[in-house]
């Protein structure tokens, strides 16, 4: 694999690691929402920018309940998560995405990077956003300012998650 120098990511590697479930930590620290890039929360769920995004604007909707499968969510929580996903797609369309991938990887064997706490990914896509670097370079290029994207998504969430 090629190495691409990306000094702006150094903060990710030097920061203190959260003990326990990172998503429970996000749930339990609303006073740190700006720092954690949480742009929406209510009694059942929160929405947060993905710290390691596939594309600019990639975010997740996470139930507060610490469960690893949708079968353990209450029907109310599942329907609420689904409604927020629908609103999230509208938000990303307003953000300018040409399309959206969204879904849940359930447990480690289902591809979940954090398998113990269910989370739904919303990944904005643009025509031509996949090129050779991903296919043969085993790398991704994120060519925009993460903080700027967060602020744009946060502003749009006030309209689309209302």
Q: Give CA separation, 102 vs 88, 97, 112, in Å.
A: 9, 13, 13
Find out whether 105 is annotated in a ligand binding site: no
Domain ranges of the chain: 7-160
2 compared with 65, residue with greater pLDDT: 65
> 7-160 sits in which CATH class?
alpha beta
Choose among 68, 66, 64: nearest CA to 81: 64
Q: What is the pLDDT of residue 53?
A: 86
Q: Of 36, 64, 119, 160, which one is the catalytic site residue? A: 119
Q: Give CA separation, 143 vs 54, 57, 63, 122, 148, in Å.
A: 11, 12, 30, 19, 12
Binning pLDDT at 50, 70 and 90, where does residue 91 land?
very high
Between 13-17, 39-43, 55-59, the lowest mean confidence (pLDDT) is in 13-17
Query: Is residue 22 over pLDDT 60?
Result: yes
Q: What is the pLDDT of residue 55?
A: 86
Whole-number Å distance between alpha carbons of 56 and 159: 19
pLDDT, average across residues 108-127: 94
98 is catalytic: no
Q: What is the pLDDT of residue 19?
A: 85
Choose among 39, 36, 30, 43: nearest CA to 18: 36
Query: Is residue 155 over pLDDT 60?
Result: yes
Query: Is residue 158 over pLDDT 80?
Result: yes
- Whether the full predicted model's pTM is greater than 0.75, yes or no, is yes
Q: What is the pLDDT of residue 127?
A: 84
Whole-number Å distance between alpha carbons of 58 and 52: 9
């Amino acid at each position: 694999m090629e190495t691409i120098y990306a000094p702006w990511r150094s903060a990710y590697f030097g920061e203190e690691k959260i003990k326990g479930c990172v998503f429970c930590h996000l749930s339990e620290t609303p006073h740190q929402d700006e720092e954690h890039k949480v742009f929406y929360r209510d009694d059942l769920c929160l929405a947060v920018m993905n710290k390691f995004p596939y594309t600019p604007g990639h975010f997740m909707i996470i139930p507060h309940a610490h469960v690893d499968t949708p079968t353990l969510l209450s029907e109310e929580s599942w329907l609420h998560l689904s409604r927020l996903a629908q609103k999230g797609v509208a938000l990303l369309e307003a953000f300018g995405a040409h399309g959206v991938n969204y879904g849940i990887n359930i447990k480690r064997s289902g591809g979940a990077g954090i398998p113990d706490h269910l989370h739904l990914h919303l990944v904005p896509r643009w025509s031509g956003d996949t090129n050779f670097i991903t296919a043969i370079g085993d790398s991704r290029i994120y060519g925009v300012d993460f903080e700027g994207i967060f602020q744009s998504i946060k502003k749009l969430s006030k309209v689309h998650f209302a």
